[in-house]
Chains A and B, each alone.
Chain A
Amino acid sequence: MAQTEIRPSRHNLHNTHIIPVKFEYYAPKTLEEALDLLNKFGEDAKILAGGTDLLVKMKMRAVEPKHVINIKGLKELRYIKEEDGEVRIGALTTWRDLEKSEVIKKYFPALYDAVKVMAGVQIRSMGTLGGNLCNASPAADSAPPLLVYEAKVKLVSKDGERIVPLTEFFTGPGKTVMKPNELLTEIIIPKPEEGTGSAFIKVARTAMDLAKISAATAVKVENGTIKWVRIAIGSAAPTPVRAWKTEESLKGQPFTQEVIREKVKLVEQEISPIDDVRSTAFYRRVISKVIVEDALLISHDRVLRGWVK
C-alpha cells in the first residue's frame, strides 16, 4: 500500500500558544512620546491597542515587528464626546464602551448593530474602534456602518495632523493611507439628519466568526420618496466599499419593496468578492442584494416605528 504523505495541518505549523517573534516593547505614557517612537521606528514598529488582531497575526508570523508600541496607557484617547453636529470617538474606545454608550445607540443604530454581532464580550472589552479600522480587514465590522455615516478619521504624526474621510482611508486588505509615522487618534461621525434610518446586517457562521458578507445602509425618505440613501458592503471587495451606483439609482425613487428589490440588483456590479475559507464569491454575490434590501427595509422601519433598543 502506498504510503500517504503526512503533512502538518495549518494548526500544527503555527503554535498559537506563544509569540515566536522577538521585539522590543514600549509603553508610552503620553501621545507625544508615542508619536516620537513611531517617528523613530516607522515601518519596523507596530501599534498595540486591543491586541486581538495584532497578537494573532504575530502568533501566525504574518507580521514580525521589531518594536511594539503599546498605547493602552494613553487614557486621553478613550472617549465618546457628543458635540454640536458630530460625535467624536477616541481611537482607544473599546467595543464594550460603544455597546454601553447611549450616544451611539441614539444616533448610530447601524454601528450599535455591528457592536452586538461583533465577537464576544471578551474581545469587545479588549478591541478598540481605532484598531478595527487600522487593521483594515475587508470584514471589519465597524467599517460599513461608519462608511454610511460618512465618518472621518484623524491621523496624527510629528509632522502635524490630517483628517481623512473613511471612504478614502482603506486601500487594500490590511492597507490604509496611513504613513508609517502616523497614529489614528479619533473617529469623527457627523450626526445623521433628523428622520434618517440606518441598519447593519452581518452574515457569519458562528457568533465569533468574521463576516462572510455584511452590509450597512442609511436612508432618508420624504413623503414616500427616497431623498438619499447610502449603502456600504463588507467582505465583498479588497476593502469595505460604498455602493455608489446603487445609491444614485435609488435617489428620487418611491420607497417600496418592489423598487428596492429591482434597484439593489446593481450592488452585484459594485463588489468583487472572492472564494475564501469563509464563503464563495457566488454566495456573496447572491446574498449581497438580499442583505442590502433587508437593511434598507429595517432602516426605514426604524424611522417609522422609532428605534428602540
Chain B
Amino acid sequence: MKVPIQFTLNGEKVSMEVEPNELLLNVLREKLGLTGAKYVCGIGECGACTVLVNGEPVLSCLTLAADVDGKEVTTIEGLAKDGELTVVQRAFIEEGAVQCGYCTPGFIIMIEKLLQENPDPSEEEIREFVRGNLCRCTGYVNIVKAAKRAAKELKEMSQKLSQK
C-alpha cells in the first residue's frame, strides 16, 4: 500500500505517494529530478548520498522515503540561493577540491554542517567530521584546504558585518 507523504524539500513543500520500500535517494533522483546526491555503495560506507534531514546529515540511501514525512530535507541543490554559490561551494572550486566530482555533493553538505557547528575547525576536526565520506580520487588534501578556506572567509565576512 502506498504511503502519502508531505515534506519540505529545499524550502518547498512536496506532497507525493511513495512505496514503503522506496528509498529517499531514489525518490530524489528519479522522481524529483535532483541528481546531486549520488548513489555509490548503497550500504552506508561512502557518504556520497548525504543530505540533511531536519538539519542532520543522513545517508539518503539508507532512509526510507516514507520516513521523511513531515520533515525538512536539504540537498546540495538547496544550498545555492538565487544562483549564488555558498562560501563552501566557492572554496571547493577555488581550491580544486573537485576531481571526478562524484563525492563532492556529500563532502560539501558535510563541510557546510561542520562550519555551522564549529566555525573554526582544526585539520583534525575536519578530517574527523568527513570520516564517513570517501573520495576515490583521494583528493582529501584539497578538500581539507577548501574547508579551511571557507571557514576563514566566513569568519572575515562575519567580522565585516559586525564592524558595520
B51 nearest CB across to chain A (Å) = 9
Selected from B1, B22, B62, B129, the residue in CB contact (under 8 A) with A121 is B129
User: What is the bound-complex CA distance between A102 and B37, given in angstroms?
Assistant: 34
A123 nearest CB across to chain B (Å) = 6
Contact A19 B23 (CB under 8 A): yes
For A20, A25, A68, A207, the residue with the greatest tally of chain B CB atoms inside 10 Å of its CB is A25
User: What is the bound-complex CA distance between A23 and B20, given in angstroms?
Assistant: 7
A21 nearest CB across to chain B (Å) = 6
Chain A residues whose C-beta falls within 8 Å of the C-beta of B61 in the assembled complex:
16-17
For B22, B39, B58, the residue with the greatest tally of chain A CB atoms inside 10 Å of its CB is B58
Stretch in contact with the other chain, from B64-72, B93-101, B144-152:
B64-72
CB of B131 within 8 Å of the partner chain: yes
Chain A contact patch, size range? 20 to 34
Question: B-facing mask of A55-79, CB < 8 A → 1, else 0?
Answer: 1101100000000101010000000
A-B contact count (CB 8 A): 96
Contact A120 B20 (CB under 8 A): no
User: What is the bound-complex CA distance between A52 and B58, given in angstroms?
Assistant: 10
Given contacts A17-B42, A25-B3, A96-B56, contact A72 B67 (CB under 8 A): yes
CB of A203 within 8 Å of the partner chain: no
User: What is the bound-complex CA distance between A171 and B132, given in angstroms?
Assistant: 31
A117-136 interface (Cβ within 8 A of B): 119-123, 125-126
Chain B: how many interface residues by the 8 Å CB criterion? 33
CB of B75 within 8 Å of the partner chain: no
CB of A51 within 8 Å of the partner chain: yes
Chain B residues whose C-beta falls within 8 Å of the C-beta of A119 in the assembled complex:
44, 132
Chain A residues whose C-beta falls within 8 Å of the C-beta of B44 in the assembled complex:
52, 56, 119, 122-123, 208
Chain B residues whose C-beta falls within 8 Å of the C-beta of A23 in the assembled complex:
20-21
Question: A-facing mask of B116-145, CB < 8 A → 1, else 0?
Answer: 000000000000011111000000000000
Given contacts A25-B3, A120-B132, contact A125 B57 (CB under 8 A): yes
Contact A25 B66 (CB under 8 A): yes
CB of A27 within 8 Å of the partner chain: yes
A238 nearest CB across to chain B (Å) = 23
CB of B10 within 8 Å of the partner chain: no
Given contacts A120-B47, A121-B132, A122-B47, contact A56 B57 (CB under 8 A): no
Of chain B, the residue at the smallest CB distance from A25 is B20
Given contacts A25-B66, A55-B64, A208-B131, contact A122 B58 (CB under 8 A): yes
Contact A122 B21 (CB under 8 A): no
Chain A residues whose C-beta falls within 8 Å of the C-beta of B45 in the assembled complex:
208
A59 nearest CB across to chain B (Å) = 6
Show the binding face of A for B, using Cβ within 8 Å: 15-25, 27, 48, 51-52, 55-56, 58-59, 68, 70, 72, 96, 119-123, 125-126, 207-208
Given contacts A19-B21, A52-B59, A55-B63, 12 further A-B pairs with CB under 8 A are A21-B21, A22-B20, A22-B21, A23-B20, A24-B20, A25-B64, A52-B44, A120-B130, A122-B58, A122-B110, A123-B132, A208-B44
